[in-house]
Amino acid sequence: MTKQINIGFLIYPDVVQLDVMGAYQVLAFPPNATIHLIWKTLEPIKSNEGLIITPTQTFDRCPTLDVICVPGGGMGQVEVMQDKTVLDFLQRISDKAQYITSVCTGSLILAKANLLNGYQATCHWAFREHLAALGVEIIPQRVLIDRDRLTGAGVTSGIDFGLTLVSLLWGEDMAKMAQLMMEY
């Protein structure tokens, strides 16, 4: 695949940085991938662990995305789940995305944005009941694919999630090369 692939990660205060960075590391490997870190403003935000992450795109200026990924936030996702601006952005940007995805409790945010209605999904084991309460059918897998929705379980599953997505977008050979280069 030679077409440029635009991948966007929603980042927000108290996001779990490894939910972002595990998948980011893998998805940055293909040469025609462009990754955007998206938030309301370009002001740096602090992750759940205290790492400062700087957004590269705002909601208003976000390009059309091939993939939107919503990482979890430990408890940081709770506020985001109530934020109409975020939920509206996810609904709008997802209309044209090839894949709508999440890692860990990011699936709770997708569910709150009504983007998992009628889909199976997974998330961190400690939050499965919360996801089910939002009307999502839970399948306890490390990475789950249901049509154009990909969800990863807990934090480190973001690497497996990334490799799965690379395989879908660029083929198994590219995913194997990324895995080899990361010694994973």
Strands 120-121 and 99-103: unpaired
| pLDDT bracket for residue 1 (50, 70, 90) | low
Q: What are the structure tokens assigned to 144, written together?
A: 């789950």
Tell me whether residue 104 is one of the annotated catalytic residues.
yes
Strands 33-39 and 5-10: parallel
Please give the mean pLDDT across all residues of the chain.
95
Nearest to 157 by CA among 26, 67, 35, 49: 26
Which of 62, 69, 104, 123 is the catalytic position?
104
Query: Using one digit for the tens of pLDDT, what is the confidence trace for 77-123?
Result: 999 999 999 999 999 999 999 999 999 999 999 999 999 999 999 99
Element of type H or E holding 145: strand 143-146
The stretch 39-65 carries a mean pLDDT of 97
Nearest to 144 by CA among 129, 160, 156: 160
| pLDDT bracket for residue 74 (50, 70, 90) | confident
Nearest to 20 by CA among 102, 136, 129: 102
